[in-house]
Amino acid sequence: MNIVEVLDQKQRVKFLDIARIIYKNDPNFACPLDGEIGGIFDPKENSFFKHGEAIRWILTDGSGKVIGRIAAFINTNKAFSFDQPTGGCGFFECIKDREAAFLLFDTAKEWLKERGMEAMDGPINFGENDNHWGLLVDGFLPQGYGMPYNKAYYQEFFESYGFQVFFEQYSYHVDRSKPFPERFAKIAEWISKKPGFEFEHFKFSNSEKYIQDIIEVYNEAWKFHDNFTPIDIEDIRKIAREGKGILEEDFIWFAYHEGKPIAFFVAMPDINQVLRKMNGKLDFWNKLKFMYLLKRKTITRTRITIMGVVPKYQRFGIESAIFWKMDKAIKAKKQYTEVELSWVGDFNPKMISIYESVGGVKMKTHYTYRYLFDRNVPFKRTAIIPLENRGTKASKE
């Protein structure tokens, strides 16, 4: 076997194509767009290169056939905030061959060790953890956009190599045909009418204002969490630009108290239901197909990707009010029959309780693993978020 760094266009194509080979004829797999994956490794597109570095490799057999891939990265804003300096590996794909898998893991580990790392998380993303983060271990169903899908045998590869579960990630599904829980509806109505509180949804015509509101809430809600790093405003602007024509304005909600933003929820149509038909390619004809399928209202599921409530307002029923308003907006669009609430970590029992209270049923479980290079160092799982530090959140560490 031969492992080589991805440096030229031919190797970049092979890095992408191995996923198409491994998941060929798998009806649950929606191939991410080539441009999206390529952008993660492009310093011009991925802001994480401002405070980190990334590399990727492909693995070939004796005949030159690609049989696996892996990437490694260091986010210097977080790497040195753990007990052991920690990098990451991700975008792992491999045929069912333990020797091949271990060679890929070894390659990522050695690259990280050379740069002062003492541990490796995986499979993770060189970016925010709402996309391409974690290994699917339960719920081998069609995944929502950004949620990883993988072969079941990958779990044995990670665990036999020595990775241990750092935290578990749960995705819940809500059947929109069922009524909104009455108790939450009453709380929502009460807070919606309370003087000083206002709720409104996103509008593209005033997108910069809402982007600034997201930044303000995000920084306030997450600043007490371990390993907090401010969000890059350009990343939010990019999502807004690229999402025009796809995002539903009334699936993104904000709460205000006396004019100050105190919460936001973001739900996105699950475009995987369209991308599944494109095999990762967005050429001219697939762009036409994409627009046609959008107009045909092919998408029936939406995914709540991130939410945040400023800690001092978390006991006011803000979550109930936004869920209630979002529920009404979703039900008004008849094609949407399901909402995915993803993902929430096992370290955040408050958010798990909210998901279950609004009718969510746990459908999928992903693991984020950690591998300590010194095998004699005691392993610690991620800590439960203390109650006083819980700015309600999902899809964030």
Q: Helix 98-114 crosses helix 154-161 at what angle (to 10 degrees)? A: 50
Q: Which residues contact 336 (CB under 8 A, 6 or more apart)?
A: 176, 269, 299, 300, 301, 302, 330
Looking at residue 257, its pLDDT comes to: 95
CA 141 to chain centre: 16
Looking at residue 342, its pLDDT comes to: 84
Q: Which residues contact 333 (CB under 8 A, 6 or more apart)?
A: 248
Looking at residue 142, its pLDDT comes to: 92
Q: How far apart are CA 208 and CA 316, in angstroms?
A: 27
Do domains 2-169 and 174-364 share one topology? The answer is yes
CATH architecture of the domain formed by 174-364: 3-Layer(aba) Sandwich (3.40)
Q: Are 274 and 329 in contact (CB under 8 A)?
A: no
Closest CA to 173 of 69, 351, 279, 301: 301
Element (H, E) at 156: helix 154-161
Q: How far apart are CA 87 and CA 160, in angstroms?
A: 20
Global confidence as pTM? 0.90
Looking at residue 395, its pLDDT comes to: 52
- What kind of fold does domain 2-169 have according to CATH? Aminopeptidase (3.40.630)
Domain boundary assignment for the chain: 2-169, 174-364
Looking at residue 391, its pLDDT comes to: 45
Q: Are 265 and 304 in contact (CB under 8 A)?
A: yes
Looking at residue 178, its pLDDT comes to: 83
Closest CA to 267 of 127, 138, 394, 140: 394
Beta bridge partners of residue 253, listed in sequence order? 201, 265
Q: How far apart are CA 367 and CA 321, in angstroms?
A: 31
Phi, psi of 72 (to 5 degrees): -135, 150
Looking at residue 233, its pLDDT comes to: 87
Closest CA to 176 of 319, 324, 358, 336: 336
Structure tokens at 20: 């198409």
Q: Which residues of the chain have pLDDT under 50?
A: 388-393, 396-397
